[in-house]
Chain A
Amino acid sequence: MDIVVCIKQVPDTTEVKIDPKTNTLVRQGVPSIVNPFDKNAIEAGLRLKEKYGGKVTVVSMGPPQANDALKECLAMGADEAVLVSDRAFGGADTLATSYTLASTIRTLGHFDVILCGKQAIDGDTAQVGPEMAEHLGITQLTYVARIDIQGDKVQVYREHEEGYEVVEAKLPVLMSVVKSINVPRYPTVKGIMKAVHKDKIRVLSAKDMEVDMDRLGLKGSATQVRQIFTPPQRGQGILIRQDSARKSVDELMAKLTDAKIV
């Protein structure tokens, strides 16, 4: 089985502080980690390899520093690592990121399964995985808590608040996994030694792939992050209760219009 796992190096958000003066994130001195959900994805990939044979390739789009995250995944047992890095990718939103990653995977060749974590703990959008599946024209299975492969089909349990949805699909698929799917293994001492002494991690830049330059980075981004801030404490809220739904809606619309929300 050819298994590709997409990971992201993120700041350890439990350590992140908000600068009280500017209300923005203080990133300095915050340790970087492999996005926790991505570790679940790596573990899922390793277990698939242990059960069905094959290879696990871990891919990450990021600056050169993301190599540390890739090495950690190699130390867990991944076979190969690819860093997708280029100035041209800078400033990318989820659309440009998913386009870049999808192009990378096309460049790498054959795959049976792509695994992603549910969401990144810094962006929290949960969009990149599903968008990648769309770019690649393959089935996406999200919130996966259990994976069973039978020949060329996969059956998954999708986690909902009230239970599980069991879905079957034909390979290849992209799956994004939730925390409850597994407990990621720790790298072993031998794994760490192998990861550090391995041949250089393969680096792909824009010129190594067939891409439309206009769809990369800031240029290829449909959205822009203007500001990150802690929202002010929520007030009590206003309860609108007129004696008819119509009157309640009218009052609500009046308030929304006044507040220039609509």
Chain B
Amino acid sequence: MEFEFNEEQRMLQKMVREFGEKEVAPGAAERDEKDYFDRDLFDRLAALGLSGTCFPEEYGGAGSDTLSYIMSVEEISKYDDGLGVTLSASVSLCSWPIYAFGTEEQKQKYLRPLAEGKKLGAFGLTEPNAGTDAASQQTVAVRDGDDYIINGSKIFITNAGEADTYVIFAMTDKSKGTRGITAFILEKGMPGFTFGKKEVKMGIHSSQTQELIFRDVRVPAANRLGDEGKGFKIAMMTLDGGRIGVAAQALGIAGAALENAVKYSKERVQFGKPISRNQGISFMLADMATELKAAQLLTYRAAWCKDHGQPYSEAAAMAKMFASDSAMKITTNAVQVLGGYGYIRDYPVERLMRDAKITQIYEGTNEVQRMVVSGALLR
């Protein structure tokens, strides 16, 4: 059992940290303040190959592994986790299902530009009446000759509006329930495919969240991803991988919060000494550090399982649940350590706390994660 990153991963970590410090960190507070999605920044990140880390070279990737990709999401998320989720949603939720379930033509046409960093991806499953109850899809796709006509809408879609490629889900046979859902690859600009409301969120302001609207969108059958009726399975398997990405995002948020809290506690002097000398504070920091380390190990383990062809549903659920709950606790405590300053926008911890909350909710609420883990446990 290796508990260290290999040489390749350490070099990659160094590169991402340098990029994060020089290119990402300086604008993070402003992007949060102005609710600004910086496409140019994502493009620069992607140009380094970070959208294709875990895909084979034949599809434009770098031929590395899931663990390396996950580690890069964690590192970027330390500086701007909105950018972290932009990356992980594109890679885990859009590129991956095309890689895992696409035809050779679909992989060359859609996966390659995504992996090369030339395009951004998104995943559209959630609807106003289909959140945790994902099977209650109301978006429909009706076969018409060599095409499907899609009508409906999706909400809370990360990267919507900016993404070029979308993996979405629609009901092709209502009578079959979950077995009547089919996956499709859509392109921005297809007639009838528009975007609705841009959501104003509590946090992750640098990530764009918007509605997808389908009004008689004609999609060629060649864009169907997998067979008819296989969509639900594709969605669930995709989310398993996406969960590891969310866990990584949470690790980044928590790591940044802990670092800020430690630094502050050494500098802040009250009653003639740094507050780090008070056990009330130092014990809190010790608990935070331990939880973060445990969350990291669970997350890296889930990535390892995926890389070694082992079932990883349960591992991913554990990682996502634990990492996000830890991130919420760690960021809340970081604000506490910074006291009054922690509540002020000039200091990064309040943003980290606002950002952490969503990791407990999306890509399967932590209640869903508990369903997955208990399901596996009590089989």
Contacts and interface: CB of A to CB of B under 8 A. Distances in A.
Interface of A: 71-72, 75, 186-190, 192-193, 195-197
Contacts of B48: 186-189
A186 B24 CA distance: 14
A186 B63 contact: no
Nearest to A72: B11
Interface string B40-62: 00000001111011000100001
A193 B64 contact: yes
Interface in B144-166: none
Contacts of B15: 75, 186-187, 192
B70 to A, nearest CB: 13
Contact of A192 (B12, B47, B57): B12
B49 A190 contact: yes
- Chain B CB within 10 A, most for which of A71, A75, A189: A189
Contacts of B11: 71-72, 75, 187, 192, 195-196
B7 interface: yes
Contacts of B267: none
A35 to B, nearest CB: 15
Nearest to B11: A192
Per CB-CB distance, the 6 closest pairs between chain A and chain B, nearest first, are: A189-B49, A189-B62, A188-B49, A196-B8, A190-B62, A192-B11
Summarize A's interface: helix, strand, loop or mixed.
helix
Contact of A193 (B19, B47, B63): B63
6 contacts: A187-B11, A189-B12, A189-B49, A190-B57, A192-B15, A193-B62
Q: Is the interface of B mostly helix, strand, loop or mixed?
A: helix
B18 interface: yes
A197 B62 CA distance: 13
Given A75-B11, A196-B11, A189 B18 contact: no
Given A188-B48, A192-B11, 20 more contacts: A71-B11, A186-B15, A186-B18, A188-B47, A188-B49, A188-B62, A189-B49, A189-B50, A189-B52, A189-B53, A189-B62, A189-B64, A189-B68, A190-B49, A190-B62, A190-B63, A192-B8, A193-B62, A193-B63, A197-B8
Contacts of A187: 11, 15, 48
Contacts of B62: 188-190, 193
Contacts of B12: 189, 192
Contacts of A75: 11, 15
Interface in B1-40: 7-8, 11-12, 14-15, 18-19
A81 to B, nearest CB: 14
Contacts of A189: 12, 48-50, 52-53, 62, 64, 68
B51 to A, nearest CB: 9
Contacts of A71: 11
A190 B12 CA distance: 10
Contacts of B63: 190, 193
Contacts of A195: 11
Contacts of B14: 72
A101 B62 CA distance: 35
Contact of B7 (A186, A188, A190, A196): A196
